[in-house]
Amino acid sequence: MSEEKTPKTQSPPPEKQTPAWRQALGSLVVPILAIFTALVVSAVLILASDVKVLTAYSHFFQNPGGALAATGKAVADAYGALFLGAIGNPAEMARAIGTFFATGDTKPLIAAFWPLSESLVTSTPYIFAGLAVALGFKCNLFNIGAEGQLYIGALASVWIGYNVTGLPAIIHMPLAFLGGALAAALWGALPGYLRARTGAHEVINTMMMNYIAFRLADWLVNGPMKRGGAAGYIPITPSVLPSAEIPTFFPSPLRFHAGFFIALGIAVLVYLFLWKTTLGFEIRTVGANLRAARYGGINVGRNMVLALALSGALAGMAGANEVLAVNHNVAGAFSPGYGWDSIALALLGKSHPLGVVLASLLFGTLRNGATKMQSLADIPIDIIVIVQAMVIMFIAAPPIIRWLYRLKAEGGLETFLGQGWGK
Amino acid sequence: MAAIAATYAQASVLRRQRLVGIFFVLVGLAILLALGRGTQAGQLSTLGLNTVRSAQLLKLPDIVLPTQVVAFVLGSVVVLIGLWQFIRGFRSTGLWIGVVSGCFVSAFLVWAARGTSFSLIGILTASLQLATPILFGALSGILCERAGVVNIAIEGMMLMSAFTSVIVANATGSIWLGLLAALLSGLLLAAWHAVLSIQFKVNQIVSGTVINIFATGLTNFLNQRVLQVYQDLNREQTFPVISHFFPKLGQLPIVGPLLFDQGPFVWTALILLIVVNVALFQTRWGLRARAVGEHPRAADTLGINVYRVRYVNVMLGGLLAALGGAYFTLGSVGRFDKLMTGGRGFIALAAMIFGNWTPVGAFASSLIFGFADALQVKLQILINQVSIPSEFLLMLPYIVTMVVLAGVVGQATPPAEDGIPYEKQ
């Protein structure tokens, strides 16, 4: 039943004679306003849960200036700490560069650029996971299972990382990385197969497989893959061998690593795959119009399985990246929710690899800055999660943003439209 | 064409009948070989029917069973059922799936309790308690989806209302106001979901995801920023159990602990189960709601206000989910913990699908999931007896859902227009 509905709502946007650069700029308006509005909403939340601000407002009529000052201070403290944690202190950076050239001392340099390095480190798994969800969206499949696939990828690559010995780094590292991707690809392909074969909706199945993956990880980390010896009572796997580690570029506290460039490379590959290959074209056709794809002789089922398998592989790479470059082991719940966040990234990036990379950089920076905000301004890091919910909502319902800012409607379809549980 | 289609349909029915038959036989063999042969001949299993409380009107004798005999008998029965299913086929497959799983679970319990004793009444009571929030959530899902709105936001609604119930109950000192606040927050989130998915025609799964993410973020944020600082706001507040008011009822054998040592949430869930079932299938209101879920255009032509029906059902669903959330705090633990609903909202969704979008079916599957949950806790006590890691039992509800959804043991058929925004012409 639902299939008959989709063509109507998914007709291609009408051809307009707008220059490409204006279109590109125009498509940025809603995302930027969405992020801005989300930050404003979060600021209101920070204020409403701040005792000093609330007391200041209870004396608003005696001392309105004090209330406004308290408001300003709370917001400035919070977002100031966010900026410091995310990018760093520009003055300090300049001074550190000066010191480096004057004396050759790298310590201030490392300290000054540490926040920026951490932001890029946090952005890296986001790029992989965001691409995963985006690739699913291109086939009109909603992969909510990125978080579980990420765990599967991490477990597989940590296993290869510590269990396979005697390989040179040039083989061991890619092997562990791709092993994680492959395991997660198989994990992701199952919901795709079930969707193609029985019509069972991938949203339910990927969600169920998330929880199965978490329990599996619990069991493996507490049992068969648990580290022996003195640490035997902590649920943690052994560390991967140095030959499996993704190399870092700078001295120790700076964790910026080659995974970031692997992620960018993968983003380019995803772009080329989707827009320059026949398989990619088929996947996008199935996503755009299932019935047309079927009439055109495209094997719809095979493309669904392929799309979800590739989506799983990308999410698995996020896990492999974290294991091989950052943590070097898998402990109980090691992911702060990269997989869940990736839904927001794919929507914010409009399912385009470039958009996803930009969105990932933004959210990686935000999340990293939020850590600093937590320690400096005592604002829980979960504020970032609220920002995400808001961003998803505004992106998925552009009319809200347009109404808020009195924008004119742009042509075409801005969000993908899914279907019900049925076939 | 029609004849060919009919032949195909017949063939697939036959194939499924055979498949289910083989599956039954395998289950029977598993009981016989894994459970029956794994025990020594003389071992006894004791299943307790009494609670630990001292005052009880009538003390029942414990059930003492020879472990191996039980396993052999139940295993043989299941194999016979499987053979019959393979050869002739039962008319109601669902019923026999229930019987077979019942046999398997009984055999497993008796096996787990070999050489020791095991409180049967304890696990049944715990199952009913653990099934309660799942039932609330499943009923919430049924109300929404029967009217054509997919609601994966049950988890978020539960979490949010669990949070507000505790904070308001402690701030005002009234547990009833806490409950009211829980209902209000559920209603608010449901209204949000309704506006996004009905008004703005946002993809309903995206809209539900927004609410889940938002509820996770907001409760974690406020938990750390408010509850951790003002710990007085997170003191234990629970509704008393029924037997607190009627001590004699609690002393009845079996039903005493099972039904009267429970708080009002369990009873509310059971009553609402009946109410929702009657309302959906016996009233004009229910007929209209279902029509909107199956064929909104036809319903619209007949003068039913599709949007209003959907709004009302989603909001009612929000209230039900809120009751499920309040159960976690006011009905069970009493305090709020970070992410305390732990995916129960998604299990509720699974129970709804497993129960084929009917309240009674959802109740049965809630009980199964509740039982699996309770079993998992109890088995940790019997850790020496059972070598299955509890993580695998915890996976079971999710795996069962996937199997059901894939149509291996019966096709799940959602309302036809579930999840599709309605555009008035």
Chain B residues in contact with A418 by the CB 8 A cut-off are 203-206, 419
pLDDT at B146 over 60: yes
Nearest-Cα distance to chain A for B215, in Å, is: 8
Which residues in B lie closer than 8 A to residue A1 (C-beta atoms)?
A: 416-417
Closest CB to A219 among B220, B221, B389: B389
**B338-392: per-residue pLDDT in tens?**
888 888 898 898 888 878 899 998 998 898 888 878 887 777 666 555 666 777 8
Q: Is the pLDDT of residue B312 over 50?
A: yes
Closest CA to A365 of A72, A26, A83: A83
Mean pLDDT of A220-229: 83
Nearest of B99, B190, B175 to residue B141 by alpha carbon:
B190
pLDDT at res. A152: 97
Rounded to the nearest angstrom, the minimum Cα separation between B395 and chain A is 5
Q: How far is A294 from chain B, CA to nearest CA, in Å?
A: 20
If you measure CA to CA, which chain B residue comes closest to A192?
B406
* pLDDT recorded at residue B416: 82
ipTM, two decimals, is: 0.81
Is the separation of the CB atoms in A147 and A206 below 8 Å? no
Interface mutation target, options A137, A152, A207, chain B, most CBs of B under 10 Å: A207
Q: What is the mean pLDDT of residues A123-151?
A: 94
Where do the domains of chain B lie?
12-115, 129-405
Q: Hey, are the CB atoms on A396 and B210 less than 8 Å from each other? A: yes
Can you tell me which residue has the tokens 């059902």?
B313
**Best to test chain B binding among A201, A218, A222, A338 (most B CBs inside 10 Å):** A201
> Cβ separation of B150 and A421 shorter than 8 Å?
yes
Does the structure show a pLDDT above 50 at A3?
Answer: no
Q: Give the Cα separation of A188 and A185 in Å (integer).
A: 5
Stretch B31-37: mean pLDDT, rounded?
79
pLDDT band at A421 (very low <50, low <70, confident <90, very high): very low
Do B178 and B168 meet the contact criterion of CB atoms below 8 Å apart? yes
- Cβ-defined contact of B200 to A397 (cutoff 8 Å): yes
Smallest CA–CA distance, residue B324 to chain A, in Å, is 20
Helix spans in B195-335 (H)? 204-222, 242-245, 247-250, 255, 264-282, 284-294, 296-301, 306-326
The single residue listed with the structure tokens 């109300």 is: B143
d(CA A36, CA A40): 6
pLDDT value at residue B382: 67
For chain B, give the percent of residues with pLDDT over 90.
36
In chain A, pLDDT over 90 holds for what percent of residues? 40
Residues of A in contact with B418 (CB under 8 A): 420-422
Nearest chain B Cα to A199, which residue? Answer: B406
In the chain, the amino acid numbered B326 is A
B242 three-class SS: helix
CA dihedral B8, B9, B12, B13 (to 10 degrees): -150
pLDDT given for residue A274 in this prediction: 95
Cross-chain residue pair B221–A390, CB shorter than 8 Å:
no
Q: Using pLDDT thresholds of 50, 70 and 90, give the confidence band for residue A32.
A: confident
Q: What is the mean pLDDT of residues B227-255?
A: 80
| Closest Cα in chain B to A403 | B200
Q: How far apart are CA A167 and CA A172, in angstroms?
A: 6
Q: Which of A45, A347, A400 sits opposite B200 (nearest CB)?
A: A400
Q: Which of A341-350, B125-134, B397-406 has the lowest mean pLDDT?
A: B397-406
For the segment A63-120, what is each residue's pLDDT rounded down to a tens digit?
A: 888 888 888 888 888 888 888 888 888 888 888 888 888 888 888 888 888 999 999 9
CA distance A152 to B228: 34
Residues of B in contact with A384 (CB under 8 A): 217
Task: Identify all chain B residues contacting A397, using CB atoms and an 8 Å cutoff.
Answer: 196, 200, 202
Picking from A205, A212, A421, the nearest residue to B414 by CB comes out as: A421
Tokens of A14: 């009408």
CB neighbours of B231 closer than 8 A, spacing ≥ 6? none
Cα distances (Å, whole numbers) of residue A280 to A135, A269, A292, A300, A308: 10, 11, 16, 13, 13
Our CA-based measurement puts residue B123 at a distance from the nearest CA of chain A, in whole angstroms, of 22
Which chain B residues touch A187 with a CB distance below 8 Å?
none
pLDDT at B261: 80
More confident of the two residues B48 and B366: B366
Q: Which residues of B touch A382 (CB under 8 A)?
A: 216-218, 220-221, 224
Task: With beta carbons less than 8 A apart as the criterion, state whether A256 and A249 touch.
Answer: yes
pLDDT, averaged across chain A: 86
Q: Looking at residue B30, what is its pLDDT?
A: 85
Cross-chain residue pair B221–A340, CB shorter than 8 Å: no
Residues of A in contact with B402 (CB under 8 A): 194, 200, 204-205, 208-209
pLDDT confidence of A414, banded at 50, 70, 90? Answer: very low
Residues β-bridged to residue B324: none
Average pLDDT of the residues in A346-374: 90
Inform me whether the pLDDT recorded for B77 exceeds 70.
yes
Which CATH architecture best describes the domain B129-405?
Answer: Orthogonal Bundle (1.10)
Residues of B with Cβ-Cβ distance to A205 under 8 angstroms = 402, 405
Please tell me which residue, A418 or A269, carries the higher pLDDT value: A269
B425 near B307, Cβ under 8 Å? no
Mean pLDDT of the region B159-166: 95
Q: Which of B346, B416, B421 is the closest to A207 by Cβ?
A: B346
**CA–CA separation, B24 and B96 (whole Å):** 9
B353: helix, strand or coil: helix
Q: Tell me which residue has tokens 């001074």.
A: A95
Query: Which residues in chain A are closer than 8 Å to B394, comparing Cβ atoms?
Result: 215
Contact A215 B395 (CB under 8 A): yes
- Rg of the Cα trace of chain A? 23
Q: What is the reported pLDDT for A8?
A: 45
DSSP string computed for B70-134: HHHHHHHHHHHHHHHHHHT--S-HHHHHHHHHHHHHHHHHHHHTBTSEEEHHHHHHHHHHHHHHH
In angstroms, the separation between the Cα of residue A221 and the nearest Cα of chain B is 11
User: What is the pLDDT averaged over residues A134-138?
Assistant: 94
**Residue linked to tokens 């995974």:** A259
Question: Closest by alpha carbon to B200, among A272, A54, A409?
Answer: A409
Residue among A109, A92, A87 nearest A100 (CA): A109
* SS3 state at B179: helix
The reported pLDDT for the residue numbered A401 is: 84
DSSP string covering A120-188, please? HHHHHHHHHHHHHHHHHHHTT---TTHHHHHHHHHHHHHHHHHH--S--HHHHHHHHHHHHHHHHHHHH
In angstroms, how far is CA B124 from the centroid of its own chain? Answer: 14
- The closest alpha carbon to A125, from A263, A268, A291, belongs to A263
Average pLDDT, chain B: 84
User: Is the per-residue pLDDT at A154 higher than 90?
Assistant: yes
The more confident residue out of B380 and B262 is: B262
Once rounded to an integer, what is the mean pLDDT over residues B61-72?
A: 82
Count of residues in chain A: 423
Q: How many CB atoms lie within 10 A of CB B118?
A: 22
Model pLDDT for residues A159-196, shown as the tens digit of each residue:
999 998 888 989 999 999 999 999 999 999 999 999 88
